[in-house]
Structure 1
Amino acid sequence: MSIPRLSDVISCLSDYDPDAVPVAQAQQIIRDFVTPIHAVEKLALRSALDRVLAEDIVSPIDVPQHDNSAMDGYAFAGAALEAGASLTLKVVATAYAGNGYDGAVGSGECVRIMTGAPMPRGCDTVVPQEFTREATATAVTIPAGAVKTGDNRRFRGEDLEAGKPALARGRVIRPADLGLLASLGIAEVPVQRRLRVAFFSTGDELRSIGEPLDAGSVYDSNRYTLHGMLTRLGCELIDMGVVKDEPALLEAAFRSACENADAVITTGGVSVGEADYTRQMMATLGEVSFWKIGMRPGRPMAFGRIASNGRSAYLFGLPGNPVAVMVTFYFFARNALLRMMGAQETPLPVLRAESQSAIRKKPGRTEYQRGILSVGDDGIRRVRTTGAQGSGILRSMVEANCMVVLGDSQGTVQPGEMVDVVVFEGLV
């Protein structure tokens, strides 16, 4: 499959302006440009959790493989039931799961049956043992109205029929999926190989943990939040550390990254002024657009594809501020990486909540404000911001459990007004 050119994707947009890109347009460009990788490996079932299915899984058997009892009780022919009358039956055998009764059950007879045991021939109804009375080893009485014909009977193939799809390609395998696959007797599953993502931070002021802080220097936190977010996505990580703001060092880092990874994520170096030599470098290495996105936080961003020595990788150049890194990752890079993995599209979970206070906002850009979501005794979801929303205040992301999303056209939010909320659980 041919890889689209970024310029071709952008040329389809009549209102494209790199200095004023709406959030939705940037997301659409990324979605249209990114293509899935195609590399499959087979894994033992126990090793497949959180991996992406590379092929549809078709059930090789009926589940269950026979009609069976949903209860511990007595199996019999429901035709014997009469409205308003009790029914006494002779117990002729006992059927267990894995050791059923092969004989036929005649009129006036029943079989003591355990949950999961195959339904004996001639039986279509099970009365739970707790609904019976005067039960002995040889007879049992079913009170009037205790059951109806067909009750408590599981049908062959009721869960899955042989030849029918069990799990679809692109599904991220969950614990319940492991159980389903095991119930089909499937020991190995085809999955997409892990996506390889190289990442590094740029900036002369950055120091790695363990190094002393000079005047004006700060510890690099972005690589650690990226490490956590990429690990949550199930990526194979290539941490390239901190790269100084020197063209030769940056070019070497970009070349090494795209030669060894499917995607490259950088933080810092994409703001006005900072990006001058980066633009020149990207023109040499590939096709990259530098955007000013109509959003807060996280306005500057670079996106495209770079190549070196016959290998190429998608590039996500994120801002340098810690909160902006997390916001741009979740609202731009996350879905793109999932698409590269071949995963089914999984939009971020959005809830509606009542704002507990006013939130100042100017129309014309999308804002992502850190929030604390709670549910009152009345069952109503309410949200309040964490306070100061500076893009360098990482502590606020720790305090928050959600992001309040205020769209382009939205203005100041009044107390009691409903807003969109993206919850963090499972994301951060």
Structure 2
Amino acid sequence: MLLTFQQAKQQMLQSASTIKSLHSEKVTLFEALERITAEPVISPINVPSFDNSAMDGYAIRLADLKQSKLLPRAGAIFAGDDISNLHWSQGTCLRIMTGAPVPKDADAVVMQEQTEKSDLGIAFLSQVKAGDNIRRMGEDVKQDSIIINKGTKLTVPTLSTLATLGMSELVVFKKLKVAILSTGNELTPIGKPLSGNGAIYDSNRFTLKLLLSKLNCEIVDLGIIADDPNQIKQALISASSQADLVITSGGVSVGDADYTKTALKELGTINFWKMAIKPGKPFAFGKIGNALFCGLPGNPVSTLVTFYQLVQPLILVLSGLEYSSMDFSFKVKTATNLKKTVGRLDFQRGMLQINAQGELEVSPTGAQGSHITQSFNQANCFIVLEQERGNVAKGELVTVELFNALLK
């Protein structure tokens, strides 16, 4: 009986969590984008580091304002001013600019739009509460607090926050090393002319390199390996000695020249090599030496779907990410009939959009064969059809899973 998709994914993630041995390195803040933190990030300072004004306006004491709604102006404070020796008389106010330090004995800042200026001073027109328009020290980030947990992918907003703390370096996990190779006598390197009617371009290895680059992996490219048992065996030995994860494309089906699975049996272990999914049924997962192994199908769409759904979460865990499901899924009506055979979980490529009635609906992006690469070009989601579900009629609810950043 074939493994279900969820059973296969669970096995892979459990294998990753039991074997991963992660090493860390220190990188500059600029180099840390999309890297994963190897330790909690602690704030060295308070942000803001001093009480400051959120508005252009006037700093006041509430006691003064109770005595009179008209206060003489005693001076001005600008951003960057040193006010350590500032003294301002009782019964007065201070002109203050956005970002300027607020005196310790000031209770609030009144925005200038709520005041009127005259020869006698500044008239305050609205009710004022303690703390109005003052950004307190440590309000955003407190010194010595954990601001980013271990196992977090660093994004532009998180790194921008760290820049406000003056941090220039971070400790992150080293990049996962991934070896890739394609198998097949029919494969031709991109850029060279096709020879013979059976020749095709090795697009899968190119696609894998793009995907692995987006996942911040260090890539070991072993090229195209001919359909020869000894060459495939030697290539897998070389790959497993250089990398944490080995990914192949092709050679894991049931054809006479599908030698990858045979070599894997001799060199390591096979956890499984078939799943009840479409596309991507012939997917192998196992281990060679200290490296995990993923054998992807040869059809381009099958390669992309299985990488996205299975290899991507595996890589994130192996890279040190505290993994949680990346799926953003919900149910919508389908705009057309969908063909589906009972027995396999089906990942059809779809376009989610708003119809003329202002409702979300989803349509398949043309033919869904595992060789039809055009099905991805207009897609923005997967239409996920349950294993035991058959054909779907127009208007029925289906599960839609929006593409994450890997396919955008």
TM-score (norm 1): 0.88
1:214-253 residue pairs with structure 2 within 5 A?
214-253=196-235
Runs of 4+ in 1 over 6 A off after TM superposition: none
* Match in the other structure for 1:269: 251
Distance in 1 between residues matched to 2:306 and 2:359, nearest whole Å: 29
- Please report how far the alpha carbon of residue 100 of structure 1 lies from its aligned counterpart in structure 2 after TM superposition: 4.1
Residue of structure 1 in register with 2:148 after alignment: 167
Q: Structure 1: which amino acid aligns with 2:170?
A: V
- Indicate if the aligned counterparts of 1:101 and 1:120 stay in contact, CA closer than 8 A: yes
1:313 is aligned to 2:291: yes
Structure 1, 34-43 or 101-110: larger mean CA deviation: 101-110
Asked if structure 2 preserves the Cα contact closer than 8 Å seen for 1:201 and 1:266, the reply is yes
CA contact (8 A) 1:207 1:218 kept: yes
Would the aligned equivalents of 1:78 and 1:150 in 2 still touch at CA under 8 Å?
no
Query: Which of 27, 43, 46 matches 1:62?
Result: 46
Percentage of identical aligned residues:
41
Structure 2 residue aligned with 1:330:
308
User: Which AA in structure 2 matches 1:52?
Assistant: I
Structure 1: which amino acid aligns with 2:184?
G
1:188-227 alignment, distance < 5 Å: 188-209=169-190, 210-227=192-209
- Cα separation, partners in 2 of 1:20 and 1:135, compared to 1, 3 Å: farther
Task: Determine if contact 1:207/1:220 at 8 Å carries over to the other structure.
Answer: yes
**1:365 aligns to 2:349 (yes or no):** no
Question: How far did residue 403 of structure 1 move?
Answer: 1.3
Q: Partner of 1:176 in structure 2? A: 157
Measured in 2, the distance between the counterparts of 1:176 and 1:293 equals 39
Q: Give the AA of the match of 1:71.
A: M
Contact 1:100 1:120 in 2 (8 A): no
Superposition deviation, residue 410 in structure 1: 3.5
Once residues 354 and 81 of structure 1 are traced to their aligned partners in structure 2, the CA distance between those partners, rounded to angstroms, is 61
Deviation, 1:277, is: 4.5
Q: Distance in 2 between matches of 1:165 and 1:378?
A: 47
CA 266–175 in structure 1, closer or farther in 2 if over 3 Å, else same:
same
Contact 2:189/2:202 (<8 A) preserved: yes
Partner letter of residue 51 of structure 1? R
Q: Secondary structure at the match of 1:304?
A: strand
One-letter identity of the residue aligned with 2:333:
E
Q: Aligned residues, how many?
A: 402
1:39 corresponds to 2:14: no
> 1:350 touches 1:420 (CA, 8 Å); kept in 2?
no
Residues 104, 121 of structure 1: 8 Å contact kept: no
Aligned-residue offset at 1:380: 2.9
Change (3 A) 1:135 1:235: farther
1:121 aligns with 2:104: yes
In the alignment, the residues of structure 2 paired with residue 376 and residue 77 of structure 1 have an alpha-carbon distance, to the nearest angstrom, of 58
Say if 2:325 is the partner of 1:347: yes
Is 1:134 the counterpart of 2:112? The answer is no
After superposition, the C-alpha distances for 1:258-281 in whole angstroms (9 at most, x for unaligned) are: 111111111111112458754442
> Is the CA contact 1:290–1:300 (under 8 Å) kept in the aligned structure 2?
no
Residues 1:75 and 2:59 aligned together = yes
SS of residue in 2 equivalent to 1:316: strand
Q: Which residue type is aligned with residue 309 of structure 2?
A: F
Matches within 5 A, 1:138-153: 139-145=121-127, 147-153=128-134
Distance 1:130 1:252, change over 3 A: same
- Flag structure 1 segments of 5+ consecutive residues without an equivalent: 1-18
AA aligned opposite 1:326? L
Counterpart contact for 2:71–2:93, Cα < 8 Å: yes
The change in CA–CA distance for 1:88 and 1:235 in structure 2 (over 3 A counts) is: same
CA 1:279/1:266 → structure 2, altered by over 3 Å: closer, same or farther?
A: closer
CA shift for structure 1 position 141: 1.3
The answer to whether the 8 Å contact 1:21/1:291 transfers is no
1:345-384 per-position Cα deviation (integer Å, ceiling 9, x unaligned):
2533423333111223244321000111213466532210
**Any idea what the Cα deviations from partners look like across 1:128-158, whole Å, max 9, x if unmatched?**
112221256x82111134x433211111111
Structure 1 position 259 matched with structure 2 position 241: yes
Contact 1:105 1:123 in 2 (8 A): no
Question: Which residue number in structure 2 is paired with residue 155 of structure 1?
Answer: 136
Which moves more between the two structures, 100-109 or 153-162? 100-109
The match for 1:12 is none
For 2:116, the aligned partner's letter is R
Quote the residue 2:70 is aligned against: 88
- The range that moved more, 114-123 or 95-104, is 95-104
Structure-2 separation of matches of 1:376 and 1:159: 42
The answer to whether the 8 Å contact 2:261/2:284 transfers is no
Shift of 1:183: 1.4
Q: Distance in 1 between matches of 2:146 and 2:64?
A: 38
5 Å-filtered alignment, 1:285-304, equals 285-304=267-286
Say yes or no: does 1:417 pair with 2:399.
Answer: no
SS of aligned partner of 1:315:
strand
The answer for the alignment partner of 1:13 in structure 2 is none
* Partner Cα separation in structure 1 for residue 91 and residue 357 of structure 2: 55
Higher deviation after alignment, 148-157 or 348-357: 348-357
> Deviation of residue 399 (structure 1)?
2.3
Check whether the contact 1:96–1:113 (CA below 8 A) recurs between aligned residues: yes
Cα distance in structure 2, aligned partners of 1:34 and 1:264: 13
Give the TM-score normalised by the residue count of structure 2.
Answer: 0.92
| Distance in 1 separating the partners of 2:258 and 2:375 | 32
Displacement of 1:419 after TM fit?
2.3
